[in-house]
């Protein structure tokens, strides 16, 4: 489909796949999360908790060595791997060695809290180029790679790539691709902007915000869950982990993205009712994800 063609609207929410009773953790999705930097520990931790609460069997966080013990101490159910870093606390290591280490995973999530540095675009581009599984790229993963244009995503054609920008990151991605960087307000305009980039880059794109838009080359979904209490730090990190977990459980990218944004918003709606409309935290939303996933799947979740 051409970027100028209108995508087909989709409104249904796919269910979480049922699990066979004999399933073990190695079959429930191995998620690697490349995240964090000095002063941005929370982003790595929240992404990992989002993945765990989203049903991932194993979660391993790859982060700068100076924050590894802090990250590990925040959640005993995840694993951590210390990486080399530069003097400002950004990941700085041999991209070939990093890519080999990440080969353990079924799914890779990249970007939360990584910060920006001159060496990171090449490092991240190499990792994404050689990683064979689905990849979710968010936050500073997008900011570091925006200047490389759509070639970095096109190099992954045939493999699942999901981008999860907020409007500012969307503007930078579009500018790097030679498109207008203005991300205007309004549902129809946001849908057009998201679909144009998704079709050009060959990715599934999640344009976050009020009525989050999910697009691939041919289809578009506009989310209806969520509330203004989500306007606080860390919400996108939880979504990144959740989306990676759903991909690790075998969902197709467009289905996983729809279920992730719907469930993420539904969990926040549950927080608004049980805590207060304002003041609940990203970690509160993460804790509500299992119940929200069950609600979203209605009677379709369970074991076969």
Instruction: Report residue 20: phi and psi, to 5°.
Output: -70, 150
The 10s digit of each residue's pLDDT in 133-180 is 999 999 999 999 999 999 999 999 999 999 999 999 999 999 999 998
As a whole number, mean pLDDT of residues 107-135 equals 98
Is residue 303 scored above 60 in pLDDT?
no
| CA–CA–CA angle 212, 214, 217 (5° rounding) | 155
pTM: 0.96
Return the sign of the alpha-carbon dihedral for residues 67, 72, 78, 80.
Answer: positive
Rounded Cα distance between 258 and 197, Å, is 18
pLDDT category at 301 given cuts 50, 70, 90 is very low
As a whole number, mean pLDDT of residues 114-120 equals 98
- pLDDT for 302: 46
Q: Where are the domains of the chain?
A: 26-224+232-295
- Helix (H), strand (E) at residue 61: strand 58-64
Supply the CATH classification number for the domain 26-224+232-295: 3.40.1190.20
The 10s digit of each residue's pLDDT in 244-284 is 999 999 999 999 999 999 999 999 999 999 999 999 999 99
């Amino acid at each position: 489909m051409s970027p100028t063609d209108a995508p087909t609207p989709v409104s249904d929410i796919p269910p979480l796949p049922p699990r066979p009773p004999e399933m073990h953790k190695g079959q429930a999705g191995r998620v690697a999360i490349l995240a964090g930097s000095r002063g941005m520990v929370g982003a790595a931790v929240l992404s990992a908790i989002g993945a765990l609460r989203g049903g991932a069997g194993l979660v391993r966080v790859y982060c700068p060595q100076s924050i590894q013990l802090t990250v590990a101490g925040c959640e005993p159910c995840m694993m951590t791997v210390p990486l080399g870093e530069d003097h400002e606390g950004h990941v700085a290591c041999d991209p070939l060695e990093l890519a080999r280490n990440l080969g353990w995973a079924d799914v890779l999530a990249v970007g939360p809290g990584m910060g920006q540095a001159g060496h990171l675009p090449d490092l991240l581009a190499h990792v994404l180029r050689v990683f064979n599984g689905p990849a979710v790229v968010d936050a500073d993963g997008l900011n570091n790679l925006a200047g490389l244009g759509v070639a970095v995503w096109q190099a992954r054609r045939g493999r699942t790539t999901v981008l999860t920008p907020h409007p500012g990151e969307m503007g930078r991605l579009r500018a790097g691709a030679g498109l207008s960087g203005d991300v205007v307000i309004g549902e129809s305009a946001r849908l057009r902007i998201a679909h144009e980039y998704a079709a050009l880059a060959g990715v599934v794109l999640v344009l976050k915000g009020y009525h989050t838009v999910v697009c691939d080359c041919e289809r578009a979904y506009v989310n209806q869950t969520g509330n203004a209490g989500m306007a606080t730090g860390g919400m996108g990190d939880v979504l990144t982990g959740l989306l990676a977990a759903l991909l690790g459980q075998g969902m197709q990218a467009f289905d996983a993205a729809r279920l992730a944004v719907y469930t993420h918003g539904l969990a926040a709606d549950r927080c608004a009712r049980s805590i207060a409309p304002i003041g609940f935290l990203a970690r509160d939303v993460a804790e509500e994800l299992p119940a929200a996933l069950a609600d979203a799947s209605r009677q379709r979740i369970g074991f076969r």
